[in-house]
Structure 1
Amino acid sequence: MFVNILTEKIQSSWRNSKKITQPSLKACRAVGFVKSTCNNLDGKGKVAFTAAATSASSTWNSGTLVFNVVISNVGNGYNKSTGVFTAPFPGTYVFYVSANEYSAQGLGLDIVLNNVPKARLLASNSASNQTGTNVVVLVLQKGDKVWVNHFHGKGFWTQTVSLTTFTGFRI
């Protein structure tokens, strides 16, 4: 009962002020919440983004795939000019990529951490508009960089409401 009342007080403090007071943080820790959970109650450390490619290319065949439209960018880690996510905080992150190949040309992409490929997605060239997806969980240090890099094929397809996206968030 006490834990429920205290939890409600902490949550109420968050909802009402968007800033947890020091006594509430101490109380959060005192009832057994993990320290990082209590620290995140003040809104610091939240990171999440989704970026989209909104213009198709029939010829793209090297380098970083730049997702030029930011749908959300909590924590400002994603750079839409370079296509690179830079971790603003250390922690465990999840990254997901979905991409459509262009007109049966095939497409292979890598999710890259600091120049090291960590996961690969493939969209077959057996028919037009095949989709490749993959997800990876990575432990990052502040300043680590993650991006999507060309591995195979040529071109990617998308529409105004994007079919080709890059998402990441801290858990």
Structure 2
Amino acid sequence: MLKFQTTDQFKTLSFLLRNLIAKNERILLDLRVRCDGEHKKSRINRHLDDKKARSLNKSSTYAATNLHSQNGSPIASYQDSKKEEQDISRKRQISGVVAFYAYLSSTEPSPSVHHTIIFDYVKTNTGEAYNRHNGMFTAPADGVYVFSWSTYSQQHGAIYTEMVVNSAVIGSALSDSNSVNIVAAATGNVVVEISRNDVVYIRTNSVNHGAGDILSFARYRTSFTGWKLS
């Protein structure tokens, strides 16, 4: 038990104790505030992490759903794309609009007789009836069609061409510069009534061989075009 000699000693000690208690209370309060802050910060971070996880899960779910909507494979996506192209083609065919224009992307060197000319660069193909891989136009419907083709022969050359429907020659043309040192041109035009699935194409003459190359450059194109008249 403490004994105090004077009242001043008691007051001094009491003052020191009160200061010490107040200082400890401030320390405890500061620790409590810091703990509360850390707890709140941790809660916010957990909330943000949960939100981010839900967002990623939602994106994954959407991607998976989108993938399943395409039957879950690249092949299915390709098939969907092809189906869309086919739908567009069918709509064009139903509308009755059929027209194409194609030309040789480069010179055809010294073609032989009975040689099908494949006009490989397609600018217009409404109705999707012309095939740039084999040079064939396949009629999508019965009707009257107009066809035109142009060929260019080199200097001192000659190119005989004919338009064929299935196996019948319907029209012919001759680009002849055999006796002159110039590029010659020839154009054939045919109006013909054909049936659905009839095939139309351009080839060199079956008998006359001709001479030289079939020319096709940016300045002049060897070309094939056609459209459904009615």
TM-score using structure 2 length: 0.54
The residue type equivalent to 2:106 in the other structure is S
| Residues matched between the structures, number | 132
Indicate which of 105, 110, 129 corresponds to 2:162: 110
Within 1, Cα distance between the matches of 2:104 and 2:220?
6
Within 1, Cα distance between the matches of 2:104 and 2:128?
18
Within 1, Cα distance between the matches of 2:106 and 2:124?
18
Shift of 1:89: 1.1
The alignment status of 1:88 with 2:146, answered yes or no, reads no
The one of the two structures with greater contact order (alpha-carbon pairs below 8 A, sep at least 6) is 1
Deviations, residues 79-100 of structure 1 (Å, cap 9, x unaligned) = 0000010001110000001110
Shift of 1:56: 0.6
Indicate which of 104, 108, 114 corresponds to 1:57: 108
Deviations, residues 81-136 of structure 1 (Å, cap 9, x unaligned) = 00010001110000001110123220010011111111101011233310011100
The residue type equivalent to 1:119 in the other structure is G
Say which one has the larger Rg: 2
Structure 1 gap ranges (5+): 1-41
Map 1:11-160; keep pairs closer than 5 Å.
Answer: 44-62=95-113, 63-124=115-176, 125-127=178-180, 128-151=182-205, 152=208, 153-154=210-211, 155-160=213-218
The residue type equivalent to 1:91 in the other structure is G
The alignment status of 1:168 with 2:221, answered yes or no, reads no
Moved more, 155-164 or 99-108: 155-164
Shift of 1:61: 2.0
Runs of 4+ aligned structure 1 residues displaced above 3 Å come to none
Within 2, Cα distance between the matches of 1:104 and 1:57?
16
Structure (1/2) with the larger strand percentage: 1
Percent identity (aligned): 29
Shift of 1:161: 5.3
Q: Is residue 85–residue 147 contact of structure 1 (8 Å, CA) maintained in 2?
A: yes
Structure 2 gap ranges (5+): 1-92
Within 2, Cα distance between the matches of 1:66 and 1:157?
13
Within 2, Cα distance between the matches of 1:160 and 1:43?
35
Q: What is the DSSP-based 3-state SS (H/G/I as helix, E as strand, rest coil) of the residue aligned with 2:173? A: strand
Q: What is the DSSP-based 3-state SS (H/G/I as helix, E as strand, rest coil) of the residue aligned with 1:60? A: coil
Inter-CA distance 114–146: structure 2 relative to 1 (3 Å threshold): same
The residue type equivalent to 1:54 in the other structure is S
Shift of 1:162: 4.7
Within 2, Cα distance between the matches of 1:104 and 1:164?
17
The residue type equivalent to 2:187 in the other structure is T
TM-score using structure 1 length: 0.72
Structure (1/2) with the larger helix percentage: 2
Shift of 1:150: 0.5
Shift of 1:45: 1.3
Within 1, Cα distance between the matches of 2:128 and 2:164?
19
